[in-house]
Structure 1
Amino acid sequence: MLKIIIPTVMLLPTALLSPPKFLWSNTTTHSLLVALISLQWLTPSYLPHKNLTPWTGIDQISSPLLVLSCWLLPLMILASQNHLHHEPVSRKRIFTSTLIMIQPFIILAFSTTELMLFYISFEATLIPTLILITRWGSQPERLNAGIYLLFYTLISSLPLLVTILHLHTQTGTLYLPMIKLTLSTPPYNSWTTSLSGLALLMAFMVKAPLYGVHLWLPKAHVEAPIAGSMLLAALLLKLGGYGIMRITLFMNPSSNLFYPFLAMALWGSLMTSSICLRQTDLKSLIAYSSVSHMGLVIAAALIQTHWSYSGAMILMISHGLTSSMLFCLANSNYERTHSRILLLTRGLQPLLPLMTTWWLLANLTNMALPPTTNFMAELTIMISLFDWSPFTIILTGTATFLTASYTLFMFLTTQRGPLPPHITTIQNSSTREHILMTLHIIPMLLLILKPSLIA
């Protein structure tokens, strides 16, 4: 564990003390090396936990998410270079330091075996994200988006803290492997059990986000800089899904508490997919598609079967890579045309043909085309939901159809059609952008060959 955390923390002095000329190359290379070392966590193990210490432990649920979080740091640094091109060196250093500061907290949140440490690291990721959005966001509304993010997260996670403390007084421990053993079966009809279950789930539902408490997400995505969008879509939403998978394990599976959440998640998946069909803003469209996909993850995590868990896990990883890639592509369009409105940035295929290839690949994975891992995940989730209740096939089937519709709509609008008259000159796509897209697509293609690593 320490051989990843210490190099990650040492990235901070690297970012602050590197000569201006080598700032980007040093931080990117260093973080890429950390990402490559972290791949060792994917080795399958027959033990319940690998690298178990009193505070941290890695198991099958956390190892893919840990590798994903290490993998995305160099990609975020790569994506932000053009965005910070005209800023003074001191601000570039602060920006990279803010990105690096989030990393140890995310690693801790995904690997901790102690509930209080999990809560602290879960909340600590909020501060650097808030700094990224409110300082480097694109429009004046970014302050509004920051306030939304802060209050939604804080209001929902205070009951979580109270419940964790209550759990500690009941069981005498917050060590996850111990809680499972010491949790005596309370009377499941008691209102305190239902209330504490609701409080435990609520914070993660907002973070995931569940439809109905999702309004902070499109705002935060639209206003955030590219690194902020990648971070939110690929990692912070996964904290919600991961929390649900962890917490529901020691709740009663036959509890009626899950039903409204399940219904809301599936209904939300349908609703947000249809919202995507009438979006005019490209980043907002991708943000709503994230809500739609995470709805499936929440539904799968709540029915607590082996199939649904592995489906939710695969979908979280593949959605993390896909949505991050889509945000990078949207950003490359924005940097050239200075607009996110779909009607003003259409028909770019003749000008940037290679970018169209990346757009096509990202869109095909987003709409879960076989044999991608997205398809594997959606199929697994749909089968396990159908097995749980045949009625769900109507909602999941319609949501899948709508996903394909808005993804094709996004691709055709940005790449095909007449070029708007105001676009006369446009800069070529750079090697940096192609490397960025390649580093997103390679893990997706490799995971098709061996999805058991993340299932």
Structure 2
Amino acid sequence: MLELIGLLMGMVVGVWLELSFTLMVTVTVLVLGSMVSLLYVGSQDLVMSVFGVGLGGDMMSVGLIWLSMWITLLMLMASLKSGVDSWFVCLILLLVVLLVGVFLSMDLVWFYVMFEGVLVPTFLLLVGYGYQPERLQAGLYLIFYTVFASLPLLLMILWWESSNCSSSVVCLVGWAGEGSDLGFVLYLAGVGAFMVKMPLFLVHLWLPSAHVEAPVSGSMVLAGVLLKMGGFGLIRLCPLFVSWISVTSWFWVSLSLWGGVYLSLVCLRQGDVSALIAYSSVVHMGLVVGGIMSLSVIGFVGSYVLMVGHGLCSSGLFCLANMTYDRVGSRSILVTSGFLALIPSGGLVWFLLVSANMAAPPTINLLGEISLLGSLLGWSSLSLVGLGLVSFLSASYSLYLFTSSQHGEMMGGVGGFEGFYLSEYLLLLLHWLPLNFIFIKSDLFVL
């Protein structure tokens, strides 16, 4: 045990010495911020006011803020090899400030401002630091999908504030005009923006292209945090549209389950590692939508747990895909076949993170998926067919990703490169450790 602690400390010191002064200051601020947020873990009702703007949160806010800061730290570590300039650090700091603002906003107007403001540094990361010429098209996909879907949300928030003289989240109670056509339009306006941000099946086309063209830091923040804003906003607005959700939940649950089945089959035919991981993210977010739309406590808790677990797991998989791309020069599964013979320890990390992606114990993904299974089966026993297919196919494409990229014969000409560096192993370890050891303290996820 002491040898393991000494090895970890040596890895941390080695990476720390690689940082510039600016990055040292940035990392220190983020670490202190995450520690301060964890001090409020025992507080179920944190409300404060800064410059007259209502900020506050609950356990879900604290957990997602911790996830945002943790993923941001790992983004900086992952970008050390490719070089980090001052503009990149400024974008990362702006991004984490806006993310914290999203999860602490107690006012719907400020929530919308922060919610849309996150797109600016994300778009600049994608376009300015992407690898391929198609990154501009992927950035336009990101902007058009998310902004156009969010404009009706802004109109709904302004209408609600003018009608109730308050846009506070605390005042969101069931709306009385459920039976009118206007109420249904406002319901679609409020829910649609979060469905695109998650994203749900049929409005997910911006996500794979953004992941494929984005730098490793952009893929990490997209998968790790940005998709969780949709689930967070959906849970926040549930009290306002609870009657409409109870009437239309069959549509959302059916779309999420059968969309997950279809996209799982798409994953089995993917030849691009990054695209496969991106499509698997849509499958997992479909389960999150189903759990929220079941309107049960265990569904909310399961969605929250799976969002945190998926953020760590998917971010780690994108890091691994980028490390493989740096050495092989291709994201194709065929080119990277037989990778286990070249870097055996890298194959071990692939196995650990892929097993977490298929919700193997003791990861918190298992806790989240079991809770979602219980909530959806309690909602309707007919959902057993879709849930069974999604679970089976999720394990299938996870095994397909591991076996196709790690086993088999190596392509001619592949080889002659170095193994993973110490800092890269530390980066992957910092993804894997909280993913598995938070399971021991699962009572933190009580909303």
TM-score, normalised with respect to structure 1: 0.90
Alpha carbons of structure 1 residues 222 and 105: separation in structure 2 relative to 1, 3 Å: same
Q: How far apart are the structure 2 equivalents of 1:340 and 1:40?
A: 41
Cα distance, 1:20–1:324 mapped onto 2, change above 3 Å: closer
Deviations 1:274-330 (A, max 9, x none): 110000000000000000000000111111111100000000000000000000111
Output aligned runs, 1:262-341, within 5 Å: 262-341=253-332
Gap change, CA 1:240 and 1:102, over 3 Å in 2: same
Match of 2:389 in 1: 398
1:157 to 123, 126, 150: 150
Deviation at 1:125, TM superposition (A): 0.3
* Distance verdict in 2 for CA 1:99–1:376, change over 3 Å: same
Whether 2:221 is the aligned partner of 1:231: answer yes
For the pair 1:107 / 2:100, whether they are aligned, the reply is: yes
Equivalent residue number for residue 88 of structure 1 = none
Residues in 2 aligned to 1:111 and 1:39: alpha-carbon distance in whole angstroms: 14
> Using the alignment, how far apart are the partners of 2:304 and 2:340 within structure 1?
34
Take 1:209 and 1:246, find their aligned partners in 2: how far apart are those partners?
A: 17
Q: Match of 2:7?
A: none
Separation (CA, whole Å) in 2 of partners of 1:245 and 1:414: 37
Give, in whole Å, the separation in 1 of the partners of 2:302 and 2:32. 29
In terms of mean alpha carbon deviation, does 265-274 or 211-220 score higher? Answer: 265-274
- Write the mapping of 1:54-453 to structure 2, written as runs, cut at 5 A: 55-84=54-83, 92-180=85-173, 185-253=175-243, 255-453=246-444
For residues 195-254 of structure 1, the C-alpha deviation after alignment (integer angstroms, 9 at most, x for no partner) is 101100000000000100000000000000000000000100000011111111221346
Q: 1:20 to 1:391 in 2, by over 3 A?
A: closer
| d(CA) in 2 for partners of 1:386, 1:356 | 36
Residue 25 of structure 1: CA displacement? 4.0
Determine the C-alpha separation between the residues in 2 that align with 1:395 and 1:29: 46
Summarize deviations over 1:332-364 as a string: whole Å, max 9, x none: 101111110110111111221211121111011
Aligned residues: CA RMSD: 1.6
Instruction: List per-residue Cα deviations over 1:18-70 (Å, max 9, x = no partner).
Output: x99534444334433433333223x233x4x2243351112122121111011
| Aligned partners of 2:38 and 2:62 also within 8 Å | no
State the one-letter code of the partner of 1:411.
F
Residue 192 (structure 1) shift: 0.7
How far has the Cα of 1:416 moved from its partner?
A: 1.2
Which whole-Å CA distance do the structure 2 matches of 1:132 and 1:301 have between them? 31
**Structure 2 letter corresponding to 1:111:** L
User: 2:242 corresponds to which letter in structure 1?
Assistant: N
Q: Which amino acid aligns with 1:52?
A: M
Structure 1 range deviating more: 286-295 or 346-355: 346-355
Q: Deviations over 1:414-448 (max 9, x none)?
A: 11111211113011211110110111111112211
Aligned length: 425
CA separation in 1, counterparts of 2:177 and 2:140?
A: 40
Deviations 1:104-130 (A, max 9, x none): 110010111000000000000001100
Which of 34, 42, 46 matches 1:44? 42
Identity %, equivalent residues: 37
Matching residue of 1:15: none
Amino acid at match of 2:231: G
Query: TM-score normalised to the size of structure 2?
Result: 0.92
Identify which range, 369-378 or 112-121, moves more after superposition: 369-378
Distance 2:19 2:266 in 1: 44
Measured in 1, the distance between the counterparts of 2:125 and 2:35 equals 26
Q: Could you list the runs of 5+ residues in structure 2 that have no partner in the other structure? A: 1-17
Whether the 8 Å contact between 1:109 and 1:122 is mirrored in structure 2 is: yes
Q: Answer whether contact 1:194 1:257 (CA < 8 A) is retained.
A: no
Q: Aligned AA for 2:437? A: L
Residue pair 2:363, 2:437 contacting (<8 A) in 1 also: no
Which shifted more, 71-80 or 261-270? 261-270
The 3-state SS of whatever aligns with 2:48 is coil
